Amino acid sequence: MNDTDPLMNLPGDGIPVAPSMEGALENARIPSVGAVIDGRVVFISLLAMGLGLAVGFIAEFLIRLIGLVTNLAFYHRFSMEFTSPAGHHLGGWVIIVPVLGGLLVGLMARYGSTAIRGHGIPEAMEQVLLNESRIPARITILKPLSAAIAIGTGGPFGAEGPIIATGGALGSLVGQFIPTTALERKTLLAAGAAAGMAATFGSPVSAVLLAVELLLFEMRPRSIIPVALAAVVATGVRFSLVGIKPIFPMTTLSTPDGLTLGLYILVGALVGLASVYVTKAVYWIEDAFEHLPMHWMWWPAIGGLAVGAIGYFVPRTLGVGYDNIQSILSADLIGTTLLVLCLAKFISWSIALGSGTSGGTLAPLFTIGGALGALMGGVFAKLLPHAGIDPRMCALVGMAAIFAGASRAMLASAVFAFEITLQPIGLMPLLGGCAAAYMISALMMRHSIMTEKLARRGVRVPAEYTADHLDQLLVKDFASRNVAFFTARTTLEEARAWLASRDEGSAHQGFPILDEEGRAIGMVMARELMDTAKLPSTQLSELMSRPLAVAFEGTSLREAADHMIREGVGRLPVVDSGQRLIGILTRSDLLEAHITRLESTES
């Protein structure tokens, strides 16, 4: 290379030059390669374990608080024992109790925070997606208090939703008080939420899966490890307080054969179909409330009126209803009684939830899905008496399938039904039923019960979690090897003459600058070469105003793309360890890399 030939093409193997000086890359900006696990992950994990400990006790306190409100509202006694309001002796006055509870929740929402409305998980998802996982501190107090009032006065909700939301809010709060990144705050939020679910049901694995499927939108070691530790600690707290037995014990189920397994999967598919219409009904009712000629503060009281009226005729619909789930799984409720409970619980819950009060979805859906599954199991048992179908297994599959179809948390649903019953025989039917429900739901409904509200607000929620395509590809496979470059002593006059002589089809916008030993030392842009304020005799080395950003052949395209963004450049010289130029990677090369992804996914 010489000054009379200011620009040359680089062969594929680079320029044969003398060995470079040690430390030649000291002044170059190279892509950062983050460790899978580092000290920061350990720190976040310790915080998550502390969260798990705190949320474990908060969950027990909230359940006792619900018990206190229930006892005061329905039995006029001071007791924190968790009990069902179904055995009350209020007569027709029972209709007023949920109305008063709804009125209090409406006041808290209007003058405290509107974020307490709903069942908690969509609101947490919104904060993750739009607000860098920042949840206001007051939600940590207002959400459990409003939920205790709503559920304790007869609201047909589960305690798990508010506990999950409270745990998530506490995790977010910790992440705001302690300096953390947005990703670390998301991890802490998910850890708190998972701890809430684990502390409620003693289900750490499904709690982690739920966090992955609905809050983290990823499965990376640096996020899943803290979440898992938080869930385990919270479960340990629960075990120390209430014991290790499953929350919904069942007698041993029989191993299914091919026919019965197929029927269980069919039950899952049919319940998945029902989940579509359950979701649509909830949002249809919510839309109906939007048209009422009154402030939304009053809506929970109207929803409470429906809850009370239905509860007057079907007392089992009042409150959390964990006893209903146990009765369904034990086959203590059958026939007309089961059908009435299923329909009444659905109507009461959907109206109350649509009114914007505070409560969860998991327990009501389990009651509805379990009842549907048990009813189908009874029908199949009569139609196919030799098939050996167990209505209890159908109930278990129905419980998990309706949540899988409504929330699209398929794995969490299947594992959760196992963890709350500890029936390993049920895992295969559960997985098949939940998969079938997920498929039916996804075919018929674009959004889930968790994401429909967000979609209406213009929020795009990730539905598929895949490995980053660019992270699997290397720079060496996509960098251009035929590189146009200048020497450091090339003048502006020489460079401009070359630019004027080149073909229009080779309109590169950036060119590496090499020193006398062939090392890349800078970049020059075409627009800089045309700067008329500079003297024609100016050497290109004088135009370098910033450190050179480079990439290596073994750098992943994700690392290279991130490096471009951090450095504010659109191309990276590809160099070896001695900073000798090998090629160049441009934004166009990154786009070209996506062709392989499209070819592998499109039929």
Q: How many domains does the chain have?
A: 3
Q: Are residues 279 and 420 in the same domain?
A: yes
Both 86 and 116 in a single domain? Answer: yes
pLDDT at 115: 74
Asked whether the predicted pLDDT for residue 153 surpasses 60, the reply is yes
Say if 301 falls within a structural domain: yes
pLDDT digit string, tens, across residues 523-571: 888 878 877 777 888 888 888 777 888 888 888 888 889 888 888 888 8
* In the block, residue with structure tokens 């992270």: 471
Q: Domain for residue 349, yes or no?
A: yes
Last residue of a domain, one of 214, 242, 270: 242
Burial of 487 (0-12, 13-18, 19+ CB in 10 A): buried
Structural domain contains residue 1: no
Angle between helices 391-407 and 427-444 in degrees, nearest 10: 40
**What CATH number is associated with residue 540?**
3.10.580.10
Sign of the dihedral defined by the CA atoms of residues 108, 111, 113, 117, in that order: positive
Band the pLDDT of 23: cuts 50, 70, 90.
very low
Token look-up 């409504």 returns 406
- Model confidence at 169: pLDDT above 60: yes
- Is the pLDDT at 504 greater than 60? The verdict is no
Given 390, 424, 456, the domain boundary residue is: 456
- Report the DSSP beta bridge partners of residue 486: 7, 513
* Integer CA distances (angstroms), 489 to 385, 500, 537, 538, in order: 92, 19, 10, 9
Instruction: Determine whether 191 is exposed, middle or buried from the number of CB atoms within 10 Å of its CB (0-12, 13-18, 19+).
Output: buried
In 3D space, the residue among 497, 496, 488 whose CA is nearest the CA of residue 518 turns out to be 488
pLDDT above 90 as % of the chain: 39
Residue 44 resides in a domain: yes
422 in the same domain as 299 = yes
Query: Which among 456, 488, 518 is the end of a domain?
Result: 456
Q: Is residue 253 part of a domain?
A: no
Higher pLDDT, 443 or 510: 443
Span 104-114, mean pLDDT?
A: 87
- Widest CA span of the chain, in angstroms? 103
- The answer to whether residues 534 and 403 belong to one domain is no
What average pLDDT score do residues 80-86 get?
88
Q: Over the chain, what is the mean pLDDT?
A: 85
Q: Does residue 290 share a domain with residue 150?
A: no
> Residue 495 domain-assigned?
yes
User: What value does the mean pLDDT take over residues 59-80?
Assistant: 91
**Residue 76 and residue 16 share a domain:** no
Q: What are 314-326's pLDDT values in tens digits?
A: 999 998 888 999 9
pLDDT tier, 117 (very low <50, low <70, confident <90, very high otherwise): confident
Q: Give the pLDDT score at 9.
A: 43
What is the per-residue pLDDT across 389-418, written as a single tens digit (0 to 9) for each? 899 999 999 999 999 999 888 999 999 999
Q: In this structure, are 23 and 86 located in the same domain?
A: no
What CATH number is associated with residue 162? 1.10.3080.10
Structural domain span for residue 511 = 7-30+469-601
The reply to whether 579 falls in a domain is yes
d(CA 430, CA 488): 68
- Determine contact, residues 154/319, Cβ cutoff 8 Å: yes
Those residues whose C-beta lies under 8 Å from the C-beta of residue 18, and which sit 6 or more positions away, are: 517
478 and 401, same structural domain? no
Indicate if 307 and 413 belong to the same structural domain. Answer: yes
Q: Are residues 514 and 452 in the same domain?
A: no
In-domain check, residue 250 = no
Give, rounded to a whole angstrom, the gap between the first and last alpha carbons of the chain. Answer: 49
